[in-house]
Amino acid sequence: MYNENSIVTLSQGEAFRKKIGMYLSANLQEAINLGLRELIVNVQDEYEQYKPKNPEVIIKLDTKNRIISVTDNMRGIPVGIRDDGINSLTAAFLLSHSGGKHEEGAYSSAIGCNGIGNKCVCHTAEKLKVIVNRDNKKYTQEFTSTDKGATPLYDVKEEKSTTKETGTYIEYIPDKRVYGDIFIDIESLENMLTEMAYFARGLKIVLIVDKVEKTFYSKNGLVDALDSKDAVSKKISYTYEAEDCKVELALQFINGKGEIKSFANGLNVKDGGAFMTGFKNSVTKTINALSKQNFVGENIRKCLTGIVSVKVKSPQFSNQMKTELANPEARKATSTATSNALKEYAKNEAENFEKVINLITKYDKAEKMAENARKSFLASNSEITKESKKKAVLPKVLIDCQEHGKNSTLYIVEGESAAGNIINCRNPFYQAIYQLRGKILNVLKASDDKALKSEVLEGLHKALGCGYGDSFNSTKLRLEVSFNMCVSQ
């Protein structure tokens, strides 16, 4: 019955456990990795503010016992009784939206800005232990979880530290009642740490999986990520700082398929956001202005690979997964940085820049030819949809059947002998024959425009009648059941 008791209020812990998709991801594999990521990026945020001697973060995974730990040598989480009577260490792991990144000036830029990460990990952990070394003291607290969420096993313990070093140690076991038997995806974690090393230049990141150690480290930052063997230009490294946004670019023109990765405050934002719109528009406008050409923007970017990174004081991410940055100020700053970087490169590397323009010209010309070929093909293919014109446009090498659709079959044969054999034994109501003469074009190596101009392939497309590319429609497939290849001996 739907009544007043149907309106249920979940506690913080219950919300994290039952609605984990709202905070991390509905995909549990992704969620468990994102939880660990939240702990690690907290260290990255700290590193941006506090650069200790020999900075290091160590991530340990015990796959047999499902134990995860993160250790750093930063300042350590602040510990003490707040004005509301709650210990700040306890609040950092139990109370939603509790964190040190909400106040202006605490961090110049941050990824973990929502005060959710630590809490989500704690409330969905079977057990969690945190140790903080700070102010010559050692602070310890442990938590355990039920279906209602996490609670402290005891108040924060304080004792004199045996070391002058500072930092935080977090150890936890993901609760099987939330994640089942799923554990950390190592490959995904390693990819994240590889990227993080480029942004946290100078920070040593150590991953230990069942006692097997792997280190992630970058000396030069973003440009270390550029290693294409198809490079046709020198690496372009450019930094631009506006009042409310810092932009870093690491770009390189290549003779191959380029890829631009977008990052906000050191985190890969797969969907980009306003700042990537600024980047794309600026690349097109600047390159066309410098070369006095009218290239299509997408064709320019096919020759460009690298990283676009922005850092803002108060990032506005689309969700807790942080797949897109919405900050409008980042768009203008990125546009300016991109324009300046390309103009500087064209001026200082004039000879090399001319080679880049020649390369873009080649790609742009090829793509426009392919696009014209696609349009021409689609225009002719659209005629097939008109029943009255089918017989006029179908290829002569097609021996059509009388009935089309789900019960029909197309036999593709090579040579007159094979065709003759099939004709004699086929069912003319449902079995059609397409006769080839000679070798078919290798479309894996040929360009789109060449493939679409192939008489054999064009004939096959017309025989099938289902369109091509964006116009593909499986419901219009004339001959549906199977395809068979018969060759003359």
CATH of the domain at 231: 3.30.230.10
CA dihedral sign of residues 440, 442, 444, 450: negative
CA dihedral in degrees (275, 277, 278, 280; nearest 10)? 120
pLDDT of residue 153: 96
Whether residues 306 and 438 fall in one domain: no
**Rounded CA gap, 401 and 426, in Å?**
10
CATH number of the domain to which 474 belongs: 3.40.50.670
Domain assignment present for residue 49? The answer is yes
Domain assignment present for residue 368? The answer is no
Number of domains within the chain: 3
Last residue of a domain, which of 322, 348, 374? 348
Q: Which domain holds residue 277?
A: 222-348
Domain assignment present for residue 4? The answer is no
Domain assignment present for residue 229? The answer is yes
Whether residues 194 and 235 fall in one domain: no
**Rounded CA gap, 273 and 323, in Å?**
9
Tens place of pLDDT for every residue, the chain, 489 residues? 777 776 656 677 888 888 888 888 889 999 999 999 999 999 988 998 888 889 999 999 999 999 999 999 999 999 999 888 899 999 999 987 554 443 444 444 545 444 688 899 999 999 999 999 999 999 999 999 999 999 999 999 999 888 888 999 999 999 999 999 999 999 999 999 998 999 888 999 999 999 999 999 999 889 998 987 888 888 999 999 998 899 999 999 998 788 999 998 877 888 888 899 999 999 999 999 999 999 999 989 988 999 999 988 878 876 656 778 888 899 999 999 999 999 999 999 998 899 999 999 988 888 888 777 777 666 665 555 554 444 445 677 788 888 887 778 888 887 666 677 777 778 888 888 888 776 677 766 666 666 666 777 777 777 777 776 666 777 777 776 454 555 544
Whether residues 25 and 169 fall in one domain: yes
Whether residues 250 and 189 fall in one domain: no
pLDDT of residue 319: 64
Whether residues 154 and 227 fall in one domain: no
Domain assignment present for residue 365? The answer is no
Whether residues 467 and 392 fall in one domain: yes
Alpha carbon of 465 to those of 384, 478, 482: distances in Å?
6, 6, 15
pLDDT of residue 389: 46
Whether residues 22 and 62 fall in one domain: yes
Last residue of a domain, which of 331, 348, 365? 348
Whether residues 152 and 267 fall in one domain: no
- Of 81, 96, 86, 93, which is closest to residue 141 (Cα–Cα)? 93
Domain assignment present for residue 7? The answer is no
pTM above 0.75, yes or no: no
Domain assignment present for residue 2? The answer is no
Domain assignment present for residue 372? The answer is no
CATH number of the domain to which 116 belongs: 3.30.565.10
Last residue of a domain, which of 327, 348, 369? 348
Whether residues 148 and 194 fall in one domain: yes
